[in-house]
């Protein structure tokens, strides 16, 4: 499990996104800043300047804690291969670009407009093209343990399916 380093407080938004996606992280706290309010258990911090040994120790502690109860972070390489832990799936160009946009804001809502722009930088085709690609992408992502949730009239949200983070209706 990789621990992500985040500068604090400069990258506070990035930290929120990582927290939402349950990515373990180590905050590098500016020498003059206040220590961050904890948002969950997958986070630790060290104050700068710090020696490398401290940083490594803290990072590995967070990593071990995370390994107890968290999913691997999906990773999309430049060849359109999406890897989630040991599992992977190839993605065709359009779906790869959509996935890239969703991964940039993993765990947060991405609007249909933003997705359209990501999928078709040269201008979007018909309105339903996005719907269909989301459908196809869903079927492709399910086997690797990812799910696309719709937030009606707001957009879509990518999350790990193994954890029941969002509440489903009966």
Question: Which residues in this chain contact its own copies in the complex, by CB under 8 A?
Answer: 20, 22, 35, 37-41, 44-45, 47, 54, 57, 61, 64-65, 68-69, 77, 79-81, 83, 85-90, 92-93, 108-109, 111, 140, 143-144, 149, 151-155, 157, 163-167
CB of 1 to DNA, least distance (A): 30
DSSP string, 25-61: EEEEE-TTSPPPPP-SSSEEEEESS--HHHHHHHHHH
**Is the sign of the CA dihedral 75, 81, 84, 86 positive or negative?**
negative
Placement of tokens 């040991």 in the chain: 86
List Cα–Cα distances, 90 to 94, 109, 110, 150, in angstroms: 12, 24, 22, 23
CB of 58 to its own copies, least distance (A): 8
> In the set 14, 56, 64, 154, which binds DNA (CB under 7 A)?
154
Residues that bind DNA (CB under 7 A): 90, 92-95, 112, 120, 125-126, 128-129, 131-135, 138, 150, 152-155, 169
């Amino acid at each position: 499990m990789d621990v992500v380093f985040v500068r604090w407080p400069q990258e506070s938004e990035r930290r929120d996104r990582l927290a939402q996606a349950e990515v373990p992280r180590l905050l590098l706290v500016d020498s003059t800043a206040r220590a961050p309010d904890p948002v969950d258990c997958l986070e630790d911090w060290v104050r700068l300047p710090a020696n490398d040994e401290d940083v490594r120790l803290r990072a590995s502690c967070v990593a071990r804690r995370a390994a107890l109860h968290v999913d691997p972070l999906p990773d999309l390489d430049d060849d359109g291969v999406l890897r989630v832990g040991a599992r992977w799936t190839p993605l065709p160009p359009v779906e790869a670009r959509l996935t890239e946009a969703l991964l940039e804001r993993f765990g947060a809502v991405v609007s249909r407009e933003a997705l359209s722009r990501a999928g078709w930088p040269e201008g979007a085709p018909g309105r339903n093209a996005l719907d269909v690609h989301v459908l196809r992408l869903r079927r492709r992502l399910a086997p690797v343990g990812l799910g696309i949730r719709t937030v009606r009239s707001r957009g879509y949200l990518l999350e790990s399916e193994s954890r029941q983070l969002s509440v489903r209706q009966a």
